[in-house]
């Protein structure tokens, strides 16, 4: 295989990998909301909107520790 062929294959598969990776990530972001333990990423905006020290965290660290 010449270096040109090698770089052409490399280019093709890298592009394919990135496209698949990108769409898989988008799919993941939407799918997670539908799971039983779903996370709606849109709620995360509230981390900035309700950011007083007394406000309830969107996802408290202490929840994790209790499990």
Partner 1 sequence: MENRPLEYDYTVAKMFMVTTIVLGIVGMSIGVFIAFELAFPGLNTIFGQGIAEYTNFSRLRPLHTDAVAFGFTLSGIFATWYYVGQRVLKVSMAESKFLMLIGKLHFWLYVLGVAAAVVTLFMGYSTSKEYAEFEWPIDIAIVVVWVLWGVSIFGLIGIRREKSLYISVWYYIATFLGVAMLYLFNNMEVPTMLATSAAGETGIGSWLHSVSMYAGTNDALVQWWYGHNAVAFVFTVPIVAMIYYFLPKESGQAIYSYKLSLLSFWGLMFVYLWAGGHHLLYSTVPDWMQTMGSIFSVVLILPSWGSAINMLLTMKGEWQQVAASPLIKFMVLGSTFYMFSTLEGPIQAIKSVNAIAHFTDWIVGHVHDGTLGWVGFMIIAALYHMAPRVFKRELYSKSLMAAQFWIQTLGIVLYFTSMWIAGITQGMMWRAHDEFGNLAYSFMDTVDVLHPYYALRGTGGLLYLIGFFMFAYNIYKTMSARPVEESELQNASPMGA
| Residue selected from 34, 38, 63, 67 as contacting partner 1 according to rule CB under 8 A | 63
The reply to whether 55 sits near partner 1 by the rule CB under 8 A is yes
SS3 at position 27: helix
Contact 47, 54 (CB under 8 A): no
> Which two tokens mark 14?
């890298």
Least distance to partner 1, CB of residue 57, Å: 4
Least distance to partner 1, CB of residue 9, Å: 15
Cα–Cα distance, 39 to 4 (Å, whole number): 45
The reply to whether 64 sits near partner 1 by the rule CB under 8 A is yes
For the chain, what is the largest distance between any 2 Cα atoms, rounded to a whole number of angstroms? Answer: 64
x-or-dash pattern for partner 1, window 30-49, by CB under 8 A? Answer: x----------xxxxxxxxx
């Amino acid at each position: 295989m010449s270096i040109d062929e090698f770089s052409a294959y490399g280019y093709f598969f890298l592009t394919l990998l990135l496209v698949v990776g990108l769409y898989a990530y988008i799919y993941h972001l939407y799918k997670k909301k539908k799971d039983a333990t779903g996370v709606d990423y849109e709620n995360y905006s509230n981390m900035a909107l309700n950011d007083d020290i007394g406000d309830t965290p969107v996802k408290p660290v202490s929840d994790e520790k209790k499990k």
